[in-house]
Each structure stands twice: as structure tokens, then as C-alpha cells.
């Protein structure tokens, strides 16, 4: 008796994204990464205060490293929080 494969419908096709995001800092040379520019840095933080990974933000490796260093520097001098500011419930 030969083995027959049955389609159970469990593992559907993977999602394919149409276009890869480009690095916004490579596209626009006037944008700079500075620890003092909080509005730019906040875009690359999640709502929990974590740094958004490169595959989601679309940054190139060079700019992601510079961005991470700037966020950490801004956190150390208290321009950005280390975590989100949700209050704890009793």
C-alpha cells in the first residue's frame, strides 16, 4: 500500500511582501541621526520602549547601528525612557 498525502489545510502558503522597505536615511541624505533629535528616535521605538528591529524598520545595517547607539545615549541622559510609562495596577 502506497503512502498518500492528504491535504489538511494546516500549512498554507507564506505571505510574500511586494516590496522591501528602503532605508530612509540612505534615501534622504539631509536626515541625520542624533541623540538630541527625540522625534526621529521615537519613531524607531515600540510602544513598550524597545528598539524596533531592522527587518521591521527597513534601515540598513550601518544606520541601524548608529540609531541604536543614539537611542541608548538618549536613554542614559534621560531624554528617552528605558521602558514604557504604564502604571502598575495593584
CATH (domain of 48): 4.10.640.10
Question: How large a percentage of the chain has pLDDT more than 90?
Answer: 64
* Average pLDDT of the chain, as a whole number: 84
The HSE-up count of residue 88 (CA atoms within 13 Å, CB side) is 2
The more confidently predicted of residues 8 and 30 is 30
Average of per-residue pLDDT across 2-10? 63
Question: Is 45 among the domain residues?
Answer: yes
pLDDT of residue 17: 56
- Asked whether residue 85 carries a pLDDT value surpassing 90, the answer given is no
pLDDT at 22: 86
Whole-number Å distance between alpha carbons of 74 and 69: 9
Cell numbers describing residue 13: 502558503
Residue 89: predicted pLDDT:
55
pLDDT of 45 reads 95
Residue 71's domain comprises 24-86
Give the total number of structural domains in the chain. 1
Amino acid at each position: 500500500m502506497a503512502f498518500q498525502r492528504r491535504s489538511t489545510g494546516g500549512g498554507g502558503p507564506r505571505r510574500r511582501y511586494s516590496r522591501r522597505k528602503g532605508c530612509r536615511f540612505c534615501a534622504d541624505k539631509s536626515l541625520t541621526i542624533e541623540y538630541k533629535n527625540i522625534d526621529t528616535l521615537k519613531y524607531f521605538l515600540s510602544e513598550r520602549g524597545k528598539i524596533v528591529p531592522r527587518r521591521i524598520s527597513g534601515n540598513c545595517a550601518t544606520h541601524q547601528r548608529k540609531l541604536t547607539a543614539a537611542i541608548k545615549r538618549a536613554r542614559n541622559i534621560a531624554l528617552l525612557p528605558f521602558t514604557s510609562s504604564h502604571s502598575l495596577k495593584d
